[in-house]
């Protein structure tokens, strides 16, 4: 038993020495943006929808925390929203409806909060993400989206200053109304 351990230690030391003596440049770690972590892990572990949603939420947790923090800069919030957008609605292949439904439980409160953010780009990105949600969200979750729509559009004074975002909100409201009619 001891000889196997010493053999393994010797092999490891030889490998370290060979790497140190080689003229190959050290490899750089690959940034997380370039690695489809969820796809690789999903394929290897054969995850179900709730486990895949949990994995994506863990991957996006830092960005979710940034969006919940009012002291973060505009640039940081924008980057976090873009990352959430790329990992959810712009993901290829598209996420299953069950996975998106699992993500909504965590992402919906954050996205609704950002709809009232003073930064127009953040509000726009949040609404663009929300526009992709009605098809997979349950009716219980959609009521929170409707409450936000009423606050942003349903008053005598216009709360939403941007015409483009008002258009996106009306389109979102139309999607929800169409789904409610079916």
Query: What would the pLDDT profile of 39-91 be if each residue is shown by its tens digit?
Result: 555 555 566 778 888 888 899 999 999 999 888 899 999 999 999 998 888 88
- 46 Ramachandran zone, left/alpha/beta (phi>0; psi -120 to 50): left
Residue given tokens 């230690």 in the structure block: 9
Residue given tokens 């980057």 in the structure block: 79
Name 100's Cβ contacts closer than 8 Å, sequence gap at least 6.
Answer: 53, 88, 133, 136
At 81 the pLDDT is 93
Percent pLDDT > 70 in the chain is: 70
pTM listed for this prediction? 0.70
At 65 the pLDDT is 93
At 152 the pLDDT is 86
Percent pLDDT > 90 in the chain is: 23
Distance CA 107, CA 149 (A): 17
Residue 150: exposed, middle, or buried by beta-carbon count in 10 A (0-12, 13-18, 19+)? Answer: exposed
- How would residue 23 be classed by pLDDT, with cut points 50, 70 and 90? very low
Query: What would the pLDDT profile of 89-118 be if each residue is shown by its tens digit?
Result: 888 778 888 888 888 888 999 999 998 888
- How would residue 168 be classed by pLDDT, with cut points 50, 70 and 90? very high
- Output the average pLDDT for the chain: 77
């Amino acid at each position: 038993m001891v000889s196997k351990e010493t053999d393994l230690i010797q092999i490891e030391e030889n490998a370290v020495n060979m790497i140190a003596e080689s003229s190959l440049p050290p490899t750089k770690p690959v940034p997380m943006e370039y690695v489809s972590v969820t796809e690789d892990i999903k394929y290897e572990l054969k995850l179900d929808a709730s486990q895949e949603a949990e994995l994506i939420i863990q991957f996006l947790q830092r960005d979710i925390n940034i969006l919940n923090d009012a002291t973060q800069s505009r640039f940081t919030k924008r980057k976090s929203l873009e990352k959430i957008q790329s990992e959810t609605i712009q993901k290829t292949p598209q996420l299953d409806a069950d996975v998106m439904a699992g993500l909504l439980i965590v992402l919906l409160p954050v996205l609704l909060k950002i709809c009232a953010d003073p930064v127009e780009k953040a509000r726009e990105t949040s609404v663009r993400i929300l526009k992709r949600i009605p098809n997979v969200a349950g009716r219980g979750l959609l009521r929170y989206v409707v409450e936000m729509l009423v606050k942003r559009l349903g008053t005598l004074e216009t709360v939403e200053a941007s015409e483009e975002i008002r258009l996106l909100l009306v389109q979102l409201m139309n999607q929800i109304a169409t789904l409610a009619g079916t």
